[in-house]
Amino acid sequence: MKKLFAIVFILASASVAAGQTSGVIVFKGAQLIDGTGAPPIKKSVLVIEGDRITAVGKEGKVHYPKNARVIELEGRTIMPGIVNGHGHLGLVVGTQNRADGYSRENVENALVQYEQYGVTSMMSLGLNRDLIYELREEQRKGTFPGTTIFTAGRGFGVESGAPPIPVAADQVYRPRTPDEARTQVREMAQHHPDIVKLWLDDMYGKYPKMDPEIYRAVIDESHKQGLRVAAHVFYLADAKALIADGVDVLAHSIRDLPVDDELIGIMKAHSVLYIPTLMVDESAFVFAENPAVMQDQFFKLAVSPELLQQFDSPEYRKRVESDPNLPKVKAAFAMGQKNLKTHRRCGDSCRIRHRLRCESGSHSGLGGASRTRADGSSGAHADASYCVCHAGERCCGRVGGHRNARSRQTR
Ligand SMILES: [Zn+2]
């Protein structure tokens, strides 16, 4: 571990020092996955100038200046930064969802943790306090650390309905009328969120769903404000209705029925993106049923000791096993997996955008988080991200972007 952290430190200081030397840093000897789908390059050379990856290729095939700073990475792997297209910040304190969790410190810890695990951009898809806009701004100035924030701001839910999570009143809008929804969209648009989120789900029949008049108003007003809309969905019929009304992103798997040709057809016709979030369903039972997954060092380092202890306790297992919704959650997870396969088979235009896309630069894929939004569209925020990995270790960093922000190990 020490050796790894030393490398992270060298990389961090190298990026700061780059301006005073030739400005060129070379990573040499690592296996390199470039994110284009091409086979990995076994012994690679990756050249960074300033905050850009300028060349990638096989050792001996890539030229770089003699006075470049060369960092040997034999035995390691370099891959593009991972983009989390649907995450949430500041919801958990210790082992609990809490309405007072959305603090600067809690959000910062999560963002630093993401970055250490190779996630270099994340979309916080709703349930954000307005603090998120300040933090995003500080990141852009280089004074706040962690993975690059994209945000849907608060998001639009239902009074006494989804999302049924304890959050502060200023973390989610719950409009009662279409007019109120439009006013709230306009209010949020002033902060320039990256996307708008809405929830359309009855949570296994437990809550009232959002009135179609309200989600139509949210979608229409968002589009008028130049914003795209991502919807939390569960049901196939809802997904079809939302797409007919202009939604841009399905933010979860369809989990009640197999996706059919009609859905695939309208998704292709409207270029709708699909974020499967399989882990959301699986996490409801996997730790209780398969505790072996928690023995992985990579996992252990990610989770707080209290949470690890909770997941490992007989009480937790009993609670999961006796949850009356458990069979439904498992069926939903299985359906989500099956539907992901269908989407995968159905071709490029509706395939999950798991690959990073570059707007410019010498190599597509690598450094793709530079100028890539979590939803695959191009954005203006630039930083070159990379990830140097070794089994079971957290080892990621970035060039440029937040180079002035303090970098930190949480443990
Ligand atoms: Zn969500």
- DSSP output for 99-164: TT---HHHHHHHHHHHHHTTEEEEEE-S---THHHHHHHHHHHT-S-SSEEEE--S-B--TTSSS-
Task: Say how many Å lie between the CA of residue 132 and the centre of ligand 1.
Answer: 16
Task: Say how many Å lie between the CA of residue 275 and the centre of ligand 1.
Answer: 10
Of 90, 93, 165, nearest to 129 (Cα)?
90
Are 311 and 283 in contact, with CB atoms under 8 Å apart?
no
Pairing of strands 77-79, 96-97: unpaired
Task: Say how many Å lie between the CA of residue 14 and the centre of ligand 1.
Answer: 37
The dihedral sign for the CA sequence 26, 27, 31, 34: negative
- What is the phi/psi pair of residue 48, to 5°? -120, 130
Task: Say how many Å lie between the CA of residue 308 and the centre of ligand 1.
Answer: 23
Spell out the domains of the chain, with CATH numbers in brackets: 2-80+357-399 (2.30.40.10), 82-232 (3.20.20.140), 286-321 (no CATH)
Residue 163: is the preceding peptide bond cis (ω within 30°)?
yes
Per-residue pLDDT of the chain (411 residues; tens, 9 = 90+): 333 333 333 344 444 444 445 789 999 999 999 888 899 999 999 999 988 899 999 999 999 999 999 999 999 999 999 999 999 999 988 888 899 999 999 999 999 999 999 999 999 999 999 999 999 999 999 999 999 999 999 999 999 999 998 899 899 999 999 999 999 999 999 999 999 999 999 999 999 999 999 999 999 999 999 999 999 999 999 999 999 999 999 999 999 999 999 999 999 899 999 999 999 999 999 999 999 999 999 888 888 889 999 999 999 999 999 999 999 999 999 999 999 999 888 755 433 333 323 222 222 223 323 223 333 333 323 334 444 443 333 334 444 444 333 333 333
Task: Say how many Å lie between the CA of residue 196 and the centre of ligand 1.
Answer: 12
Residues in Cβ contact with 84 at an 8 Å cutoff, skipping those fewer than 6 apart: 114, 119, 121, 122, 123, 147, 374
CB hemisphere CA count around 169 (13 angstroms): 0
The three-class DSSP label of residue 228 is: coil
Task: Say how many Å lie between the CA of residue 89 and the centre of ligand 1.
Answer: 10
Task: Say how many Å lie between the CA of residue 87 and the centre of ligand 1.
Answer: 6
Task: Say how many Å lie between the CA of residue 166 and the centre of ligand 1.
Answer: 14
Pairing of strands 69-72, 396-399: unpaired
Of 234, 230, 255, nearest to 155 (Cα)?
230
Task: Say how many Å lie between the CA of residue 399 and the centre of ligand 1.
Answer: 29
pTM exceeds 0.85, yes or no = no
DSSP symbol at 264: H
Task: Say how many Å lie between the CA of residue 167 and the centre of ligand 1.
Answer: 13
Task: Say how many Å lie between the CA of residue 198 and the centre of ligand 1.
Answer: 9
Task: Say how many Å lie between the CA of residue 88 and the centre of ligand 1.
Answer: 6
Dihedral in degrees, nearest 10, Cα atoms 168, 123, 390, 276: 100
Task: Say how many Å lie between the CA of residue 272 and the centre of ligand 1.
Answer: 17
Q: Which amino acid is at 387?
A: C
